[in-house]
Structure 1
Amino acid sequence: MRYFIALALFVVPAFLWADDWEDRLVFNDAASADRIRVISSTDTVLFAPLIEDFVAQNPNVSVEYLVSGTADIDRRVRETSDAFDIVISSAMDLQLKLANDGYARLVNDIEVPHWAQWHQSLFSFTSEPATIVINRAAFEDKPIPQTRQALIEVLRTRPEEFRGKIGTYDVRQSGLGYLFATQDARASETYWRLMEVMGGLGVRLYCCSGDMINDLADGTILVAYNVLGSYAAVRTEGKDALEVVLPSDFQTIMMRTALISSATDQPDAAEAFLRYLVSETPGSTGSKTSLPLLEPDSGATDQESISLNPALLTFLDTLKRRKFLSAWEDAVIQ
């Protein structure tokens, strides 16, 4: 399937030309195809196989794929909701608030488990854990920590080895980073102890998982905390120097979600794309994705994943967010 960077003026509305997208690609450039615009936080290399498969099954639809950060997606959709047809993000809380605030189109008769959708307007299609990724060079002949407490003990025991060599999200800028942080804090006080230790060692702060993994690979950092599982799996494949750890004390599992913009001017094509994403056989024509697609029959997902419910909105409250970020800065910015 052919896809290319959209260069012609007619491809994108004029007001989008000033935007600084992380990536922008068009799949299926047939002049007769109905174009839908998908804004997403997922790197194109991970999502392209699904779009290729979709347009192979739906040759009358063209997909313009626009990549941006999770917090930026929320801002863009609120400012110009009619600029996008599908909104995809790993920041479940921001997505739920968009749906609650009327930015999502109601879609009836989609058969998904109750825990994988919100009021028939927001739908989950992947299940992905937050992970710890380490550079094995730092743990040669030493046990690799499998829990947050074990990581704390390693950092306290060998501070000079890890000073300036630890990475995590800047939760002030990253929507997904903020989601992971608030969920970790709700699950255990260990999170705050870990943040204090990392802050005392001059933790490096990142916008996204990909940048953390790049710095792990070249030795800039030796440990990265809360790296998104799908990125960790893809980016560490074939790299013997790196190891992905699923913490055994507790796991934070995010479900990537999609919604149709309430302002879409291509409702039929957008709905076809959404139904494809939540279908049981995405990628059926041979295009394989590394995204861990949701398994509707998995009973464990309901219990282990962050739930799509009003509790997700708690830390989006202005006062609660300000209080959380203040506590986070006190721990991390030392």
Structure 2
Amino acid sequence: MRGILFAFGLMLCALPALAFDIEATQDFGPEAPLQRLSVLSTTDTAILEPVITAWLERNPGLGLRYVMASSQEVYRAIAEEGAAFDLVISSAMDLQMKLANDGHALALPADLVAGQPVWARWRDLLVSVAQEPVVLILSDSALRAGEEVPRTRRDLIALLRDNPERFRGRVGTYDPAESGAGYLFAAQDARLSDTFWRLAEVMGRLDARLYCCSVDMIEAVRAGQLLVGYNVLGLYALAGHSEGLTVVELEDFTLTLLRTGLVPRMAPEPEAAVGFLRYLLSQEAQALIARGSGLAAVEAAAFERNPHLRPIRLDPGLLANLDPVSRQRFLAEWRAAMEQP
């Protein structure tokens, strides 16, 4: 009995002490693999499950532990806690760039990043694995007879402003103070157009509800709690959650998010991480993701075919948004817009 307790104690000591908030954990592959890759991600497990399964089939004896958390918690796990993960995939491009820029990422093989567009990689440390639009969603009951679906932010402002009783308390968007992706989208909106601040003021007058994540906004719209969700990740709006919704890519501009991957400097299994990342970027894996979820491969031609799509580039501008003074100033302006009498 004493030996069993001692062995159990050693096992507990071997496990990483994870203080950050985890949303879900799932193990793939054999119960006792020869090697287990650990992935920390903001992407729902079901989205990448087909790719994980296919990769493990090609690498018998290996296992994979998939841990899902919010973008802020993913950043905190690596930057502040030094959590032992082999690969990090996140929708918060700016936080991923900060991790890479602050020395938390290992260099990736040159041939792995060379095939990516310049705007879809950061040095040899960070690479995009997929792209997706950031969209507007409307409940089927949001519009009255004769009203047209808003196609631009100006259209949306007019619809909300002219119908305050209908939309009061029934408009949702990200909380940029709590969500890394939400802050990224809001900051990019403000950079591209002054219309964003007019929209923010209108939403504030209508007592807009703030959310941590797209899935919660989508479910609130489907449940009738919201009529409008602004800046929702297209992945979730278009894949499996779209019943009863109208999904709109706004024609003045539609931000296009790049989901990115990096190998942390403290990765226990960096070679396995590079192998999985290489497979994730392969045509086969990209097709598996697209078939299962609609998540698109990184493709420069998509922006030529659809000029309203604007990629959020992996460039130093993303790091500037994370400057504490700039962030505090932006969030203060955001609160002023949201907390109107």
Q: Is TM > 0.5 for Structure 1 vs Structure 2?
A: yes
Residue 15 of structure 1 and its aligned partner are, at CA, apart by: 4.1
For structure 1, the residue ranges without an aligned partner over 5 or more in a row are: 1-7
The equivalences for 1:2-41 within 5 A come to 14-16=15-17, 20-41=21-42
Conserved in 1, the CA contact under 8 Å of 2:25 and 2:65?
Answer: yes
Pick from 203, 210, 215: which aligns with 1:205?
210
User: 1:266-319 CA distances to partner (integer Å, 9 max, x unpaired)?
Assistant: 111111011112222216679943152324463637983111111111110011
Pick from 252, 258, 261: which aligns with 1:258?
261
Residue 210 of structure 1 and its aligned partner are, at CA, apart by: 0.3
Larger mean Cα displacement after TM superposition, 19-28 or 200-209 = 19-28
Could you tell me which residue of structure 2 aligns to residue 87 of structure 1? 88
CA distance in 2 between counterparts of 1:37 and 1:211 reads: 26
Residue 62 of structure 1 and its aligned partner are, at CA, apart by: 1.1
Conserved in 1, the CA contact under 8 Å of 2:77 and 2:83?
Answer: no
Residue 19 of structure 1 and its aligned partner are, at CA, apart by: 5.2
Residue 207 of structure 1 and its aligned partner are, at CA, apart by: 0.2
CA distance in 2 between counterparts of 1:184 and 1:165 reads: 21
CA distance in 2 between counterparts of 1:187 and 1:221 reads: 26
* One-letter identity of the residue aligned with 2:191: R
User: 1:75-123 CA distances to partner (integer Å, 9 max, x unpaired)?
Assistant: 1111233421111100101101100111111012214223321111101
CA distance in 2 between counterparts of 1:260 and 1:132 reads: 33
- TM normalised by structure 1 equals 0.91
Conserved in 1, the CA contact under 8 Å of 2:136 and 2:232?
Answer: yes
CA distance in 2 between counterparts of 1:280 and 1:190 reads: 38
SS in 2 for 1:252: strand
CA distance in 2 between counterparts of 1:330 and 1:285 reads: 44
Alignment CA distance shift 1:48-1:32 (3 Å)? closer
SS in 2 for 1:56: helix
- TM normalised by structure 2 equals 0.89
CA distance in 1 between counterparts of 2:134 and 2:209 reads: 18
SS in 1 for 2:64: strand
CA distance in 1 between counterparts of 2:142 and 2:296 reads: 33
* One-letter identity of the residue aligned with 2:338: V
* One-letter identity of the residue aligned with 2:262: L
The equivalences for 1:90-109 within 5 A come to 90-108=91-109, 109=111
Does 2:128 correspond to 1:128? no
Percent identity of equivalent pairs: 41
Alignment CA distance shift 1:57-1:291 (3 Å)? farther
CA distance in 2 between counterparts of 1:291 and 1:271 reads: 24
* Root mean square deviation, CA, Å: 2.3
SS in 1 for 2:325: helix
* One-letter identity of the residue aligned with 1:316: L
Pick from 155, 172, 190: which aligns with 1:167?
172
The equivalences for 1:55-204 within 5 A come to 55-108=56-109, 109-110=111-112, 111-113=114-116, 114-141=118-145, 142-204=147-209
* One-letter identity of the residue aligned with 1:36: L
Counting matched residue pairs gives 325
Could you tell me which residue of structure 2 aligns to residue 4 of structure 1? none
Pick from 285, 293, 314: which aligns with 1:282?
285
* One-letter identity of the residue aligned with 2:333: A
Does 2:230 correspond to 1:219? no
Higher CA-based Rg:
2
Larger mean Cα displacement after TM superposition, 319-328 or 281-290 = 281-290
Conserved in 2, the CA contact under 8 Å of 1:112 and 1:296?
Answer: no
